[in-house]
Amino acid sequence: MDKLFGTDGIRGVANQYPLDCETAVKAGRAIAAFFDGEKHGSGRFLIGQDTRISGDMLVSALAAGICSMGKDVYLTGVIPTPGVAYLTSTNGFDAGIVISASHNSFYDNGIKLFKSDGYKLSDDAERSIEQLIKDDVSLYKKSETIKRVGMIHHVDDAQDHYRRFLENCLSTGISLAGMKLVIDCSNGAASEIAPVLFEKLNATVKTIFCKPDGTNINDNCGSQHPGALAKMVVAENADLGLAFDGDADRLIAVDEKGTVLSGDQVMAICAKDMQEKGLLANPVVVTTVMSNMGFGFALKKMATAHIKANVGDRCVVEEMLKVGAVLGGENSGHMIFLNHHTTGDGMLAALKLMEAMQSSGKPLSDLATVMTVFPQCLINVAVKSKPEIDTIKGIARAINDVERQLGDKGRVLVRYSGTQPQCRVMVEGPTEQETKALCRQIASVVARKLG
């Protein structure tokens, strides 16, 4: 059996291994068995999902596996991933599970896990669950002896509880009254809750891509495709635009001029606002190796330390806990505010960005000048296998050649995706034209060797 867990849970094409019903039932048994060994367990598991058509199928299979081990399952229905983390940690569940493939297309799906404290699992815990899934025969035999099987319950007010939590994250004295927003919910998990949240906080809200049909999630919309949002912000003369991904743990923002801001830029704005208010612990901010070089320079001007973790918001959180940071995230839009929440949360990040705008009284385009973005090119190359990059002579040579050309005026990062059969080639350089050319130079070699 191949390694099941990637950078963010188990992910693949729905209805195919490992996201088929049979494996989902086994995963349910394995998850129940793993957490049965935890002390003071309640025997209760929370499951949420995004809007993709395969969600009900996989939720049902996973819940069946958990119930077969004598544990109870509580279903939230559609809810953002960070909502499951919050409800798990505040309601005494043994674990929280999300059926979602985040920003991927509708035909993919995934299984994400949170511990009872709302944090994602460690590598060791994931390996233990993988081993239990492999050992499905013994778990099946154990389930056969259980007469008092678990029951399935429905949590009808899950979104309301999560929304009230978010409302309380807005600092005292801050109001969104007078702000005009355009929200792109990616036809995903934020479609119902996000408009209500921002309207209740007195913002004027226009929504796009908020009508999920099971197959239109992330379809040329959301955090991965903010072009339509940018046009709408300008057309509506709005103060800003907010784009979430399918499970709403990412945020990409658009300023009043229609300029798209990356996760790094949003974090830089929030870091400056928090520093000025004395809220930036240490002070230090944690991002990943994918962060733009300009982010580090921006933090240096603020006299704030910059620590880089491995790719994945889970890795960022682990490093934040080590160094006592309260702000961290990824350029892709995952942002973690540990003084409020245990995981990346797109809507929470949006509130903190708007809080910075209201506190400063400045438009978003002005605040964005805190960071100068280095030209960056990212090419995803489909690969058939994932050998160590350094062992492929042609690729290693291509990388060295580009690094030699860039010197200290840029950088190269080549890594495999943790969730897809892709190699990500990223180059930053002094000009957009040169950066794109150098990135294509490496990507073509990767495609020839591994595609």
Summarised one tens digit per residue, pLDDT across range 307-339 is: 999 988 999 999 999 999 999 999 999 999 999
Coil vs helix vs strand at 24:
helix
Decide if 253 contacts 348 (C-beta within 8 A).
no
pLDDT at 292 over 80: yes
Closest CA to 188 of 223, 163, 162: 223
Radius of gyration of the CA atoms of the chain, in A: 22
Summarised one tens digit per residue, pLDDT across range 198-232 is: 999 999 999 999 999 999 999 999 999 999 999 99
Q: What is the mean pLDDT of residues 126-134?
A: 94
Same-domain pairing of 39 and 106 = yes
Same-domain pairing of 39 and 152 = yes
Residue 178, domain member (yes or no) = yes
CATH code for the domain of 434: 3.30.310.50
**What whole-number distance in Å separates Cα of residue 183 and Cα of residue 350?**
10
Decide if 185 contacts 244 (C-beta within 8 A).
yes
Residue 393 has a pLDDT of 85
- The four Cα atoms 335, 184, 163, 88 give a dihedral, to 10 degrees, of -50
Closest CA to 66 of 41, 38, 33: 33
Same-domain pairing of 335 and 394 = no
Residue 409 has a pLDDT of 87
Of 370, 393, 428, the residue that ends a domain is: 370
Summarised one tens digit per residue, pLDDT across range 7-16 is: 889 999 999 9
Please give the share of the chain, as a percent, with pLDDT higher than 70.
99
Same-domain pairing of 92 and 136 = yes
Q: What is the mean pLDDT of residues 236-256?
A: 98
pLDDT at 434 over 90: yes
Closest CA to 31 of 2, 1, 58, 7: 58
Q: For the chain, what percentages of helix, strand and coil (3-state, to nearest 5) are there?
A: 40, 20, 40
Closest CA to 103 of 202, 268, 222, 261: 222
Residue 412 has a pLDDT of 94
Residue 440, domain member (yes or no) = yes
> Band of the pLDDT at 40, cuts 50, 70, 90?
low
Which token pair is 182? 């355009």
Same-domain pairing of 213 and 108 = no
Of 135, 157, 179, the residue that ends a domain is: 157
> Band of the pLDDT at 54, cuts 50, 70, 90?
very high
Catalytic residue among 60, 100, 102, 186: 102
DSSP 212-266: --SS-TTSS-GGG-THHHHHHHHHTT-SEEEEE-TTS-BEEEE-TTS-EE-HHHH
pLDDT at 2 over 90: no
Beta-carbon count within 10 A of 400 CB: 11
Of 325, 351, 370, the residue that ends a domain is: 370
102 labelled catalytic: yes
Closest CA to 186 of 208, 203, 205: 208
Residue 49, domain member (yes or no) = yes
Residue 39 has a pLDDT of 62
Q: Phi and psi at residue 77, in whole multiples of 5°?
A: 75, -155
Same-domain pairing of 339 and 433 = no
Residue 211, domain member (yes or no) = yes
- Mean of the per-residue pLDDT values of the chain: 95
This prediction's pTM? 0.91
| Number of domain units in the chain | 3
Summarised one tens digit per residue, pLDDT across range 345-398 is: 999 999 999 999 999 999 999 999 999 999 989 999 999 999 999 898 899 999
> Band of the pLDDT at 92, cuts 50, 70, 90?
very high
Beta-carbon count within 10 A of 451 CB: 12
Decide if 46 contacts 93 (C-beta within 8 A).
yes
In 305-391, alpha helices (H):
313-323, 346-360, 364-367
**What whole-number distance in Å separates Cα of residue 66 and Cα of residue 29?**
5
**What whole-number distance in Å separates Cα of residue 24 and Cα of residue 41?**
22
Residue 162, domain member (yes or no) = no
Residue 73's domain comprises: 5-157
Residue 363, domain member (yes or no) = yes
Summarised one tens digit per residue, pLDDT across range 166-180 is: 999 999 999 999 999
pLDDT at 145 over 80: yes
Same-domain pairing of 382 and 423 = yes
Same-domain pairing of 275 and 324 = yes
Same-domain pairing of 258 and 382 = no
CATH code for the domain of 25: 3.40.120.10
Residue 163, domain member (yes or no) = no
Query: What count of Cα atoms within 13 Å lies in the side-chain half-sphere of residue 238?
Result: 26
Same-domain pairing of 12 and 112 = yes
Same-domain pairing of 63 and 14 = yes
CA distances from 153 to 34, 44, 74, 238, 438 (A): 21, 10, 5, 42, 54
Q: Which amino acid is at 82?
A: P
Residue 253, domain member (yes or no) = yes
Same-domain pairing of 87 and 26 = yes
